[in-house]
């Protein structure tokens, strides 16, 4: 099954007992806005997970703006919401899927494969006049046993090594890992930076803006379209994806996998972690 589901697919299964719907709406800079939107209206049966309180750990000197949550603590949070080992989860947001993709990645990182993203998000759901409610469901706690997939991520030391080896190899060499920067072009080039203390990108990284993997309606492009989008990358290469803080890289991970790349890993600390080390080099402009 694909990693995304359509609105009509979800509508047809809205009240299946093994299904858990998770509202992941969150607005950067307005940390209360997502929960307020959820409390006002949401898809029936949905529970809420907050990007910074639930889908991230505590911010420290290193690790980036949205470090990964502790696996055991996150598993306990899921279990409290009634999400168990056999649950099928559908996540949505209203931010082009970036927060839902974070939950999608996190659950797979904990070894849970039955997780999907709602194509188009909440606004598209509501535009179809599908049901919404302000009722918050009562959930029976479950049991969630994490099976952490450490191979899905890399740390800063690995990224330093890849950056040094990659240099200015253009086009990317299949013999070397490939760094992908998922941020908007202006941030990659170092022309603007509103979120982090330094502008630019990790030396050797190539820019593939995460939103370019989607259609205008918020759905993901087809496998064939994504293969064309990533056509200059070798499918046998190790792909390491980053963004500003490890959130918007997740839609790119999903898109790469949909395009047939099987060795895709996340640098969760991303740019905000990279620049927390003064010794790390910063590149600007085109590679």
Active-site residues, by number, are: 243
Instruction: Provide the strand spans (E) within 134-287.
Output: 178-181, 206-207, 239-242, 264-266
**Alpha-carbon span 200 to 208, nearest angstrom:** 14
> Contact, 13 vs 44, CB < 8 A?
no
3-state secondary structure of 180: strand
DSSP 67: P
Count Cα neighbours of 277 within 13 Å in the Cβ-side half-sphere: 17
Beta bridge partners of 179: 240
Cα separations in angstroms, 98 against 118, 120, 174:
11, 11, 28
Residue-by-residue DSSP string for 127-148:
HTT---B-PPPP----------
């Amino acid at each position: 099954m694909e990693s995304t589901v359509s609105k009509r697919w979800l509508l047809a299964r809205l009240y299946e007992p093994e299904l858990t719907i998770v509202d992941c709406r969150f607005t950067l800079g307005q940390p209360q806005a997502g929960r307020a939107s959820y409390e006002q209206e949401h898809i029936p049966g949905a529970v809420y997970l907050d990007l910074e309180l639930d889908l991230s750990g505590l911010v420290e000197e290193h690790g980036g703006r949205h470090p990964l949550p502790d696996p055991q603590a996150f598993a306990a949070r899921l279990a409290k919401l009634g999400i168990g080992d056999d649950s099928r989860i559908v996540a949505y947001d209203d931010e082009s899927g970036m927060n839902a993709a974070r939950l999608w990645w996190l659950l797979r990182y904990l070894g849970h494969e039955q997780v999907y993203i709602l194509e188009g998000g909440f606004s598209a759901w509501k535009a179809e006049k599908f049901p919404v409610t302000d009722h918050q469901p009562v959930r029976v706690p479950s049991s969630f046993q994490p099976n952490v997939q450490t191979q899905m991520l890399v740390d800063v030391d690995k990224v330093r090594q890849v950056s040094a080896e990659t240099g200015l190899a253009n086009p990317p060499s299949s013999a070397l890992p490939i760094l992908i920067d998922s941020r908007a072009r202006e941030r990659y080039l170092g022309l603007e930076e509103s979120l982090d203390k330094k502008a630019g990108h990790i030396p050797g990284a190539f820019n593939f803006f995460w939103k370019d993997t989607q259609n205008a309606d918020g759905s993901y492009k087809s496998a064939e379209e994504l293969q064309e989008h990533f056509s200059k990358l070798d499918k046998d290469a190790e792909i390491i994806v980053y963004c500003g803080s490890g959130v918007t890289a997740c839609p790119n991970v999903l898109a790469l996998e949909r395009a047939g790349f099987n060795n895709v890993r996340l640098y969760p600390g991303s740019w905000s972690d990279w620049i927390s080390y003064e010794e790390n080099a910063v590149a600007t402009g085109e590679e």
